[in-house]
Amino acid sequence: MLPSREIRSFAKINLYLEIVGKRTDGYHDLITLMCLIDLHDTLRIEFDTPATQVACNHPDVPENESNLAVKAASKFFDAINSRDHISVFIDKKIPVGAGLGGGSSNAAAVLNALNHWYRFPLPRNALMDLGAQIGADVPFFVYGHPALATGIGDRIAAYHHHLPAYPIVLIYPAKPLSTAEVYRKLNFGLTKSKKINRKNTFRHIREQDITCILYNDFEPTAFKINPEIADAKSLLLALGAGGALMSGSGSTVFGIYPDLKDAHNAFANIKGRHPQWEVFISRLRIG
């Protein structure tokens, strides 16, 4: 039997996301506070296979070289001048195209697992640089702790304030939102006018009150494309969330709850009212 490992690949949420500028190459510069959450896919990696392969139990995830887990394996083996191969099975629990970074997380999980398996040939910075060649969010997942990201989201700085491990409830309204469409429809002029106030709030964040910094420049555009996202956010707040926000470019929204009991009550209530929505209970991973 070939050697194998089972690893968890966590989702993220953006607690703050501000678009700070449009670049000449068409990408946007942003500043975002990202944190892993407990919701995760499970990857089974088999080493020393004759070819690199991927399989996944979700119909929207490609099972070829466009899968971000395969891209990660190729980049890693190129970087260490190896002709080895792996096989990956992805047990998908993170909704796909939902602003939770599932694909990027899978890529980072493969990079970290391979680096571990081959006894750390690459320092973490080099691994994060490899990740940036796969996708803007991958360096954050390689890093794996709460972080402030700048640039197109690929420049990572440790977030030093303590974040409590708040329970959260996530609603995925079962419709993915195209990141490209959200960027295309973003009214950059409008988002710019709010900047000064927001930056001040952000600088003065206090650990007791994370909910006061929740902010996402993509929300107005996403709410227009799919008003169900705004409904989901309102419902989380009506059911006792201290704050609620859309994650990344959507369409998942999360609510932060003071304790697990409140989160469970909200979860049951939402499942009862909206059986078509995917609802999850999770927690911020602050370590």
- For residue 88, the minimal CB distance to ligand ATP (Å) is 8
In the set 40, 99, 146, 149, which binds ligand ATP (CB under 6 A)? 99
CB closer to ligand ATP out of 113 and 239: 113
Token pair in block for residue 183:
């960027």
Q: Can residue 103 be called a binding residue for ligand ATP (CB under 6 A)?
A: yes
The CA-atom distances, in angstroms, between 77 and each of 48, 49, 53, 110, 257 are 12, 13, 14, 11, 43
Query: Closest-CB residue for ligand ATP?
Result: 103
Interaction between residue 179 and ligand ATP (CB under 6 A)? yes
Task: Spell out the residues 6+ positions from residue 211 whose beta carbon is closer than 8 angstroms to its own.
Answer: 242, 243, 256
Task: Check if 12 is active-site.
Answer: yes
- Binding letters toward ligand ATP, positions 144-163, x by CB under 6 A: --------------------
**3 is written with which tokens?**
């050697």
Place of tokens 């395969």: 70
271 within 8 A of 279, measured Cβ to Cβ: yes
CB of 247 to ligand ATP, least distance (A): 8
Which tokens go with 127?
């691994």
Binding-site member from 14, 36, 73, 97 for ligand ATP (CB under 6 A): 97
Nearest approach, Cβ of 146 to ligand ATP (angstroms)?
A: 18
Least distance in angstroms from the C-beta of 98 to ligand ATP: 5
Task: Give the DSSP letter string of 8-67.
Answer: EEEEEEEEEEEEEEE-TTS-EEEEEEEEEEEEEEEEEEEES-SS-EEEESSTTS--STTS
Decide: is 239 part of the binding site for ligand ATP (CB under 6 A).
Answer: no
Residues that bind ligand ATP (CB under 6 A): 60-62, 67-69, 90, 96-104, 106, 135, 137, 179, 248-249
